Amino acid sequence: MNKKLKIILALMLVLVLGFILVFIACSPQEEETVADQTAGSPLAYDIPALPRFRVVWVQDTGDGGDVNARGSALRLMGMDTADGNGERAILGSLGNYVKPLITPRGDRVVYSDWLQKKIFVVNWDGSGRRVLSDGFGLALWQDPGDGREWLYYGHEEMMEGGFHCRAVYRKTLENPGEGELVWDKAPVNIDSFRLSTDGRMAGGNMPWPDGGVAHLPNGSLEIFTRGCWADLTTAGGKSYYWIFDGAHRNLTFFSLPEKKRWQVRINGAPGIEGHEVYHPRWSNHPRIMAMTGPYKVGSGGNRIEAGGREVEIYVGRFNADLTNIEFWWKITDNDRGDFYPDIWVAPAESGEGTGVKVRAAEMTPTVVLPTAVPGKTEGCLAVEARLIDISAIPSPQDIAPYRRALLVNGYEVLKILSGDYQGKKIMVAHWVIEDGQVLEKATRVKGQTYQMVLERYDDHPELEGERLVMDSDEFKLPLYVEQDR
């Protein structure tokens, strides 16, 4: 074999080996994980593409309108990805079940009975139901030192913004006994209270709409912003806090203690189609959350309250740095209203896999909205535009417990007076209710032309906790807010 032929054969061998290596690298792997997507992130540890988890929720057997679980036509439902049984009733007898919580070990459910004013615990298979305490269950926590599971609870009463507890107590699940006081420096919203892993902090609404972190027991209170359904998680020795915005579409995150903030859209799951969502809740795993939606029944200022039989349970998986949702699972598929989910993810070290395929859909990463400084924008846009897509002005009762609201209308852009905008249609929010009263300037006339000075809604994080009413389905258009002149 001459020297020239040897060189040619060697080059061919290199090309073949290179092709094989590229093919292996690009081929899908059987056990997909997302651990390497953000090297160095405190959350970048292995999580299976389909982890084993349990979900519990409340199902309305009536017209689907009992979003807040106040009535007696409810069932306590559950689903375990490992047993292959799909949706099932944990307690099938009709009654009142509110805010079900899966215990830290994952083997039981704690729920409150609104009508009896009592807190119950039941085994995952529906057996062993017993009363734990009078009052309303707020949170569960497992002591990392001795493994004991604790119930944090209070006695609810109606205040502005919904039901709150003036004080928080705790007792163990196994030997409840008398409760010990944990917190009474500010009322706590019943939907928003979650402890850090070490039990020294609790995130929540204290009271609604103020969201922040309480240092326990009975220490200081830090308020971050306004909103609802506040929650807290701990990962990699660091705590993260979120709060739900008034548009019921986005979560605003804070990493503690530096309080760096960012926002993640959560109404982009398949089947939601940009409508409002509700009941967002972190699981015991920082990258897994649950929520309900879509809410599109009726019209007016608060479609959440109307519920609907189309409302289902969704589970989402965050990427490693919590900046978007990279995967969704649709957990339920029925003609009942499903509300108040809680989710428990099996510890990775348990080695438990999934025994059932859950409906799933890969998602295009949601857009991460940049952090904006209150009062500053990327520049104003002045337009002359014709009102073509008008939303009904809500009443103060429609938006309760909110007392202020912005309404979104659609306009045909006739002329750009200053700034830059390329579209033919623009969505604009303007104030219609303040201090529980409809403003005189709230009324707009369809077909009339208006000159408006606008700024990007996303450039105003101070609006995150305000109620935003939008009847249109133009969710893909950028949203602007009108500035008072």
pLDDT: is 347 or 251 the higher one?
251
pLDDT > 60? residue 304: yes
Mean pLDDT of 9-14: 52
Q: Predicted confidence band at 287 (pLDDT cuts at 50, 70, 90)?
A: very high
Determine how many CB atoms are found less than 10 A away from the CB of residue 451: 12
Work out the percent of the chain whose per-residue pLDDT is above 90.
59
Mean pLDDT (the chain) is 83
Least Cα distance to 335 among 40, 60, 151, 149 occurs for 60
Which of 373, 293, 302 has its CA nearest to residue 325? 293
- Phi then psi for 26, rounded to 5 degrees? -90, -10
The answer to whether 390 and 407 are in contact (CB under 8 A) is: no
Backbone φ and ψ for 319, nearest 5 degrees, come out as -75, 180
Phi, psi of 3 (to 5 degrees): -65, -40
Pair 469, 408: CB distance under 8 Å: yes
- Among 465, 483, 435, 421, smallest CA distance to 227 is for 465
On whether the CB atoms of residues 298 and 310 are closer than 8 A, the answer is no
| CB 302, CB 398: distance < 8 Å | yes
Q: Which helix (H) or strand (E) holds 369?
A: strand 368-369
In this structure, which CATH number among 2.40.50, 3.30.450, 1.10.3470, 3.20.20 belongs to the domain 381-482? Answer: 2.40.50
CATH number of 53-366: 2.120.10.30
Torsion of CA 166, 251, 161, 232, to 10 degrees: -10
| CA R_g for the chain | 25
| pLDDT above 80 for 270 | yes
Please give the pLDDT value at position 51: 72
Grade residue 302 by pLDDT with cuts at 50, 70 and 90: low
pLDDT over 60 (residue 434):
yes
Angle at 271 between CA 326 and CA 328, to 5 degrees: 25
User: Identity (one letter) of the amino acid at 184?
Assistant: D
pTM for this model (two decimals): 0.74
Q: What's the rounded Cα separation, in Å, for the pair 151 and 322?
A: 28
Residue 462 has pLDDT above 70, yes or no: yes
Distance (Å, whole) CA 94 – CA 417:
60
Q: Where are the domains of the chain?
A: 53-366, 381-482
Q: Residue 259: pLDDT band by 50, 70, 90 thresholds?
A: confident
